[in-house]
Amino acid sequence: MRKPIVFMFSGQGSQYFQMGRELYDHHPRFRLWMDHCDALVKDATGRSLTATLYGGSDWTDRFDDILLTNPALLSIEFCLAKLLQEAGISPDYLLGYSLGELASSVVAGVLSLEEGIRLAVEFAQLLTMKSPAGGMLAILGDEGMIDDHPDAFTRCSISGRNFDTNFVVSGLAEEITKLQTYLTGFGFGIVTQRLAVNFAFHSPVIEPLKPFFLQMSGSFNYSPPRTPMISAQKGQEIAGVDETHLWDVIRQPVDFKSTIRKLASQQDCIFIDIGPSGTLSTAVKYLLPKNTSSIFLATLNQFGQDRATLEKTISCLSGSTD
């Protein structure tokens, strides 16, 4: 029996300069779709997404201007989903992680691509105007370390659970800096990574934005999804998307760990990471039980070889789509 195919859409923090560059230069269909997205982003922001994203050659600069990273993530993930669908690979489920739920909503037909990009941009403008500077810190270690260092974590809150030894916290920018300094110093040597995000998503820091967000996002028309959607914030399949759900998605913690474990316990699946960095497929690797028949695949990663990675995934799935 064919395994269900799960398209997984990553959120803020998975983006980087030059993401998808090799496909943009050499894959005509990817370039076509990205240029289409670029025109929509330009209408919404007055700025060219592709000129910014592919204008230089440095992959290491921090790409954290949310007025472009929000629509950039949506655009990249939409284009990758289109390439897989055009290759005959159709998802049985769309699984969104944080902002990835906006991309999955577009692929599901809840919002048009134009509406999705406009919502991503208007949300970014709202954050820029109304939210204090924040940050997010990925921590390699067991969540139980919070009990061992309660004073260090007191002004930060858990914003994401990825797998047993990887979780994310959010807070005001200066509090995240203090926490990172504490964890990496004092002989603890705990590995951390500051995400390329300047806001404290999934934390009480953004709570004051709620009425503004609901008013802004409430002006969009949300259609029923054409493909079943799973929310990594709810941990289960959802009936639909509206402004209230989207607020929960950005305000409440993400529990990717429980979501994947629950899904994998019900059936063997083919998990495909539609994000640019392969972070979700890496997390799935650590979450699947032993002796599982589920598999995980990426479509891009931060280390280049975009075409080879995409072609490997498509080749692996040939014969799995009947």
312 to each of 24, 84, 140, 159, 308, how far by Cα in Å?
18, 12, 29, 33, 6
Selected catalytic residue, list 14, 75, 98, 131: 98
DSSP β-ladder status, 229-231 and 157-163: unpaired
* Residue partners of 57: CB distance under 8 A and separation at least 6: 18
DSSP β-ladder status, 93-96 and 5-9: parallel
Chain centroid to Cα 181, Å, comes to: 26
* CB-based contact 299:272 (threshold 8 Å): yes
Does the annotation count 14 as an active-site position?
A: no
* CB-based contact 236:259 (threshold 8 Å): yes
Q: What's the rounded Cα separation, in Å, for the pair 153 and 248?
A: 23
* CB-based contact 234:207 (threshold 8 Å): no
| DSSP output for 250-274 | HHSPEEHHHHHHHHHHHS--EEEE-
- Provide the strand spans (E) within the chain: 5-9, 93-96, 134-140, 157-163, 166-172, 192-194, 229-231, 236-238, 254-255, 270-273, 295-298
Point out the residues that are catalytic. 98
